[in-house]
Amino acid sequence: MDASYRLPRGKRIKLSDYDPGDTSSFKEKEEVQERFEQLKEELNELQDKLFAQKKYSLLVVFQGMDCSGKDGAIKKVFSGVNPHGFRVSSFKKPSAEEAAHDFLWRTHREAPAQGYIAAFNRSYYEEVLITRVHGQTDEEEAKRRFKQIKHFEKLMTDNHTRVLKIFLHISKSFQISKLQQRLRDPEKTWKFDPNDILERNYWDDYVQAYEDVFSHCSFKEAPWHIVPSNHRCFRDFVVLSLIVEALRELPLAYPKPDAKVTELIGLLPEDTRPEGAAPKGY
């Protein structure tokens, strides 16, 4: 699954070459859901080892156009993980304090500690996306930031943080249908932001900015992945597959007890009850 959606390095990427409505070989929604549930169980087991071992961490970066489903994917995919070892960070317009520092400062503070999984709902990439589209960052500054982002991600990977970057790919027609749904559905109206309509006018500019990001900021240890997202069920399945595969690649294992714990185990009395038998009185 990882190779199917991982972007090639050293090649100019065109989003028009990728189908946002792709569902691979799956024909039935039930088949996708069955595989999804199996992967959720595996994710829980892998996270348990990650948290117990505390040698590695995972950062999952979610980017995408408005209405691509970043919130929904995070909520669905991580619904069963241990909350003690997981956190979500969302990055909006920088505060006055954040703007007074370098553009990576606020995201570095949210990077996962060893043993943890972190999901970024938008990220430091906004500083080479929205700022470029709206003319707040010129081309020279953008190129500097591309290099700084690669150095930042290399720093994290060198310190045992797996960086998984996911772009949720939707079509322009899909986006307008979701915006219309938000306006019509009382339970979703709260999600509607008038700025989403305004930003839609910059669709082609965002496409160009993302294509530049994919070309400049994808390297062996932290490649970009394009996930077809017009079909929510398939989107969630692919995202979960990528996360599970990223954790599989780490040498995760439960830590062995130290000598003191081993000694204490040896002092425990033998339990002569048959396996599975309940203590007397239960």
pLDDT in tens, 2-33: 668 999 887 889 999 999 999 988 878 888 99
Whose CA is closest to 7, among 69, 274, 17?
17
Whose CA is closest to 248, among 62, 39, 52, 61?
39
Q: How far apart are CA 153 and CA 161, in angstroms?
A: 9
What was the pLDDT predicted at 263?
66
60, β-bridge pairs: 119, 164
Beta strands, E only, the chain? 57-64, 86-90, 117-121, 161-169, 224-228
Q: What is the mean pLDDT of residues 168-187?
A: 93
pLDDT in tens, 113-152: 999 999 999 999 999 999 999 999 999 999 999 999 999 9
pLDDT in tens, 39-83: 999 999 999 999 999 999 999 999 999 999 999 999 999 998 999
Give the confidence band of 275 by pLDDT, cuts at 50, 70, 90: low
End-to-end CA distance of the chain: 48
**Lowest mean pLDDT, pick from 113-117, 218-222, 267-271:** 267-271
pLDDT more than 70, % of the chain = 91
> Is the pLDDT score of 86 beyond 80?
yes
Label residues 155-182 b or e (16+ Cβ within 10 Å = b).
ebbeeebbbbbbbbbbeeebbeebbeeb
pLDDT more than 90, % of the chain = 76
What was the pLDDT predicted at 212?
96
> Is the pLDDT score of 280 beyond 50?
no
For the CA atoms of 193, 195, 201, 203, the dihedral, rounded to the nearest 10 degrees, stands at: -70
Average pLDDT over the chain reads: 91
What was the pLDDT predicted at 155?
97
Top pLDDT among 262 and 88 is at 88
What was the pLDDT predicted at 274?
47
Q: How far apart are CA 121 and CA 132, in angstroms?
A: 19
In order of their start, the domains of the chain are 2-257 (3.40.50.300)
What was the pLDDT predicted at 26?
84
Q: What is the mean pLDDT of residues 250-276?
A: 72
